[in-house]
Amino acid sequence: MDIDIDFIDSRKASTVTDVRLPSRKVSKQEPASFEEAITATQFGRYNIMLAFLAMLSSFCTVFDTSTMSYTFVAAHCDLELTLSDKGLLNAVTYAGMISSAVIWGFLFDVLGRRKLLIIGFILDAIFVFMSVLTQGLTLLLVSKYLQGLIINGPFAAVSAYISEFHCAKYRPIYQMLIGTSNSFSSIVLPVLAWMIMPQNLDFQLMNMNFHSWNIFLLISGLPAFLSGICFVFFPESPKFLMTCGENEKALKVFQKVYSINTGHPPETYPIKYLANETKFVKNGNGYEGTIGKQSKRQALKGGFSQLKPIFLKPHVMKLLLTSSIFLFLTMAVNMLRLWLPQIFQMMTDYQVDHDGASAPLCTMLDTSVSSPGNRTAEECFVNIGNSGIYINSIIVGATAMCGNIVAAALIRFIGKKKILLVALIFSTIFAVSMYFASTPEVAIASSSIFIAGGSVSNNVMISVAVDLFPTTLRTMAISVGMMIGRSGAMIGNFIFPYLLESGCEAPFFVVASYIFVATLLTLMIPNTDMKPLT
């Protein structure tokens, strides 16, 4: 792949010096770059508030993609679900994400972050609430598809939005914070399921039957709703405003952030002028101008011309590399992650059927898959008191969160690329070790480390993608990469039931092979540590 790695690396030393210790003191009469302006706002209360918003927003994607893992364990009798139906429910949200990836990236890069973040999260909440009305498989599939259609945009934009409020010193840490929040949401979700699913909450309303899993779905929509409301009170990204030529508005945002962080009046902000970082676009009629100075129609027309550079040198090779890594990484992690509750259910069912006796993981899975399932409504039974599913899932989520915390603490000292390689190697090793797990405890430990490594890798990759692309292509690049990755996740969840039915070897060795390919591709990534935003 023809990526100019040597050129990027050759600039690394001077870049790091400029960011950590600016070579010049910005005069009040001298225009400042974005990096200088955002550094001058300092770090304080505003960044902490933004951290809480990032944490809340990060819950939404995990909830949208993961609720089915717990829902179909409790609802398989009510909805008469087969193993392939469960794979379809896990995959359909990713199908929605794939459908909207490019258009969301285009809209956010042309029309801005804030307004579309508000609209996106509110719409996502509406579609989650729609799934609460589910009485059959069809409505649940439609609502999950629509959730994926909507949430893909806000997810990618939050990463760019948060990055554009921080200097290079804190940017990777905040991306890891989002990753830690994703892992924390993986703890919160099974806790909610454990609190709600075992309860007898069956009731009828307007000739519709509701169960505990309907209430679980209702509560899972609250983070998206609250995120949409919260973004109303936050400003547009100052980096995006500068890119659009709206330096006066950007300066007011910097002043506001500075005032909140320091407690000083906005007018005491040390920078009075901003450098021209305007990006020009052309539409089909030859119109040229800044993104922010055009009409909405002109912006939309001109914005399509922005799709072209990302598919040309030097960006196309970076896009191919990051998208390939996202493909194999996302496919592997989500194939296993979304099926862990079902695997834990199979482990518990085996122990119940064998008077509490344990066995190697593959023995338990093969026995469960090969035994005739209860498919008729009269025979179907749900063990709603199965606390092992939720406890094991909490352990997995807690391990992933700890992994992200450790990575966040080390990333400034070790660097993104080294963290990424170590995390991928650990994931590969422990994906294979699940096949050899001799007890349920070993299987849980192996799956926990695998998911932790995958979670860290995914979050570091997003941080790398943010650094590799300029502002006007950043959200688009992340969206395309995640679209490719989610294509893999969708396909993986379609085929995972068949892999389980074919034997225990296939699921774990296929997952490990995908992670290994991602590890090899990571070696080609240029080092972006401490790289200022462009």
Highest mean pLDDT among 74-88, 196-210, 245-259: 245-259
The pLDDT value given to residue 115: 86
Lowest mean pLDDT among 150-164, 232-246, 469-483, 491-505: 469-483
pLDDT tens digit string along 402-447?
888 888 888 878 888 899 999 999 999 999 999 999 888 999 999 9
In tens, the pLDDT along 294-329 reads: 555 555 555 556 567 777 788 888 899 999 999 999
Give the confidence band of 1 by pLDDT, cuts at 50, 70, 90. very low
Q: Does residue 529 carry a pLDDT above 70?
A: no
The three-state secondary structure class of 32 is: strand
294/142: higher pLDDT: 142
> What pLDDT, on a 0 to 100 scale, did the predictor assign at position 517?
95
pLDDT confidence band for 283 (50 / 70 / 90): very low
Task: Return the HEC string of 461-472.
Answer: HHHHHHHHCCHH
What's the token pair of residue 3? 């990526």
Phi, psi angle pair for 375, to nearest 5°: -110, -25
pTM: 0.76
- 3-class DSSP state for residue 5? helix
d(CA 292, CA 472): 12
Most confidently predicted of 11-15, 180-184, 360-364: 360-364
In this predicted model, which residue has the larger pLDDT, 64 or 372?
A: 64
Distance separating alpha carbons of residues 400 and 448, to the nearest angstrom: 7
Tokens 């609209």 belong to residue: 119
Q: CA–CA distance from 129 to each of 134, 187, 209 (Å)?
A: 10, 22, 15
Q: Looking at residue 263, what DSSP letter applies?
A: -
Reference 497, options 343, 348, 391; nearest CA is 343
Dig out the tokens for 124 from the structure: 């996502």
Predicted pLDDT at 372: 45
Q: Could you tell me if 501 and 369 are in contact, meaning their C-beta atoms sit under 8 angstroms apart?
A: yes
Question: Residue 428's pLDDT is what?
Answer: 95
The pLDDT of residue 467? 79
Pick the more confident residue, 479 or 316.
316
Mean pLDDT confidence for 333-356 = 85
435-449 core/surface letters (b: 16 or more CB in 10 A; e: else): bebeebeebbbbbbb
Amino acid sitting at position 49: M
pLDDT at 45: 93
Mean pLDDT of the chain: 81
Over the stretch 4-42, which tens digit does the pLDDT of each residue have? 333 233 333 333 333 333 445 555 567 888 888 999 999
Report, as an integer, the average pLDDT of 89-108: 81
Q: What is the average per-residue pLDDT within 327-342?
A: 91
Q: Higher-confidence residue: 496 or 181?
A: 496
